[in-house]
């Protein structure tokens, strides 16, 4: 079901509570990756252009309902001022007298960033009274925080029960591209699913089986499939309680499923471990699979060559270690050069695309991790379901 967006409502001179996802990686007060800020700019710019009073609401980190000084949003406000080329006012709370006073000073086109909404335990509890307090600051609610749309929190779901609630431009884009995978894909459709554990992505793989033409399984989760195929995987990460499930998926998928045929192995789980490339059926005792080998990546490239849509979630190896990120980097380059509609999501794979400088060569790099995965699983996202239908 398509949702109403900010384009479908009148925002002029309205107080607009805009839920954004500014939960960015930060170190010593320095933002390491501002993708989630830049991704929100089109909606902020739209609201400012049409004369709204923009009230930004976000969480940051895991303060667990307490005020944590290191998790205040001041560094984010500073970077946002640079990106917007305009002032961004701040408040020391997200509800109460100070927030109300800050909102009262806004004029059309102004931007205010409320303090970390997770400083209040009522946020994650989706407390109705807290949601009503947040809603009282505004006339309209816009959710542009796709990365938190799978959480039924006060600022993502509860507040939408008190105000006209629509999607922002980023939310609209995220839903559009993911619907191209699960609802109206241009075929053939290919999917690359990686990551450490099959148990984390079982529902995703199961749901995709019914729609994909090519399914590549990589990362640590591929080890469980290899072992279920009867191969010896040495000391590799394996979920023995998922072997039966892996066998079932392989039987259902048939020739559409692709597993590594050669692998990069290491004698320890360490960035500087001794490494070598071997066939997938030749892993020695004591060694562990850490990445897909070049033969595997070449086979995936051929299998995906005719696809019109390709979605990628999760690395092919232990990508945080440079020598075991080569398979993931190679598949990123393959997809970047592909003529298909290419969609990547999930924290690690999206970060890898950005680190390799290929972001602009993908059709869509999602800002969502858990939300991206749950959408592929076929689950309803609370932060989307509550928005007005188009």
| Residue 320, both tokens | 């945080």
Distance between CA atoms of residues 210 and 181, nearest Å: 11
308: left (phi over 0), alpha (psi -120 to 50) or beta: alpha
According to DSSP, the residues that pair with 30 across neighbouring strands are 27
Residue 271 has φ and ψ, to the nearest 5°, of -60, -30
Task: Give catalytic residues, as residue numbers.
Answer: 36, 197, 347, 370
Q: Which residues contact 164 (CB under 8 A, 6 or more apart)?
A: 9, 139, 140, 141, 388
Distance between CA atoms of residues 231 and 249, nearest Å: 17
CA-closest candidate to residue 218, choices 315, 329, 290: 315
Q: Which residues contact 17 (CB under 8 A, 6 or more apart)?
A: 55, 57, 134, 135, 137, 138, 140, 141, 142, 159, 163
**DSSP-H helix ranges across the chain:** 35-49, 74-84, 97-104, 121-124, 128-135, 169-182, 198-209, 221-228, 243-253, 294-304, 326-336, 347-355, 370-376, 382-385
Residue 17 has φ and ψ, to the nearest 5°, of -85, 110
According to DSSP, the residues that pair with 312 across neighbouring strands are 192, 344
CA-closest candidate to residue 38, choices 84, 73, 107, 4: 84
Q: At what angle do helices 74-84 and 35-49 cross, to 10 degrees?
A: 60
């Amino acid at each position: 079901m398509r949702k109403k967006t900010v384009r479908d409502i009148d925002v002029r001179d309205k107080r607009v509570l805009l839920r954004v996802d500014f939960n960015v990686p930060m170190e010593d007060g320095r933002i390491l990756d501002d993708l989630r800020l830049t991704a929100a700019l089109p909606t902020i710019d739209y609201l400012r252009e049409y004369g709204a009073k923009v009230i930004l609401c976000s969480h940051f980190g895991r303060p667990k309902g307490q005020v944590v000084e290191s998790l205040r949003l001041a560094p984010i406000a500073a970077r946002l001022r640079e990106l917007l080329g305009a002032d961004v006012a701040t408040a020391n709370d997200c509800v109460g007298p100070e927030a109300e006073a800050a909102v009262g000073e806004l004029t059309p086109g102004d931007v205010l960033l409320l303090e970390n909404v997770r400083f209040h335990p009522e946020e994650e509890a989706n407390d109705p009274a807290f949601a009503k307090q947040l809603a009282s600051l505004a006339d309209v609610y816009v959710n542009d925080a796709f990365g938190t749309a799978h959480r039924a929190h006060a600022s993502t779901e509860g507040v939408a029960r008190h105000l006209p609630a629509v999607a922002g431009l980023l939310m609209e884009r995220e839903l559009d591209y993911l619907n191209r995978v699960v609802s109206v894909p241009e075929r053939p459709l290919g999917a690359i699913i990686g990551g450490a554990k099959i148990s984390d992505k079982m529902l995703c793989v199961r749901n995709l089986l019914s729609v994909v033409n090519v399914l590549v399984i990589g990362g640590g989760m591929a080890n469980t499939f290899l072992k279920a195929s009867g191969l010896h995987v040495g000391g590799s990460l394996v979920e023995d309680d998922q072997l039966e499930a892996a066998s079932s998926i392989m039987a259902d998928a048939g020739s559409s499923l692709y597993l590594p045929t050669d692998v990069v192995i290491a004698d320890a789980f360490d960035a500087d471990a001794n490494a070598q490339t071997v066939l997938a059926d030749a892993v020695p005792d004591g060694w562990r699979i850490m990445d897909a080998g070049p033969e595997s990546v070449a086979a995936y490239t051929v299998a995906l060559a005719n696809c019109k849509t390709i979605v990628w979630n999760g690395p092919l190896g232990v990508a945080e270690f440079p020598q075991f990120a080569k398979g993931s980097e190679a598949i990123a380059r393959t997809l970047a050069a592909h003529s298909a509609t290419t969609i990547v999501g999930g924290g690690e794979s999206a970060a890898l695309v950005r680190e390799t400088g290929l972001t602009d060569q993908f059709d869509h790099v999602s800002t969502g991790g858990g939300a991206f995965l749950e959408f592929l699983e076929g689950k309803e996202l609370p932060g989307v379901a509550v928005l007005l239908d188009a």
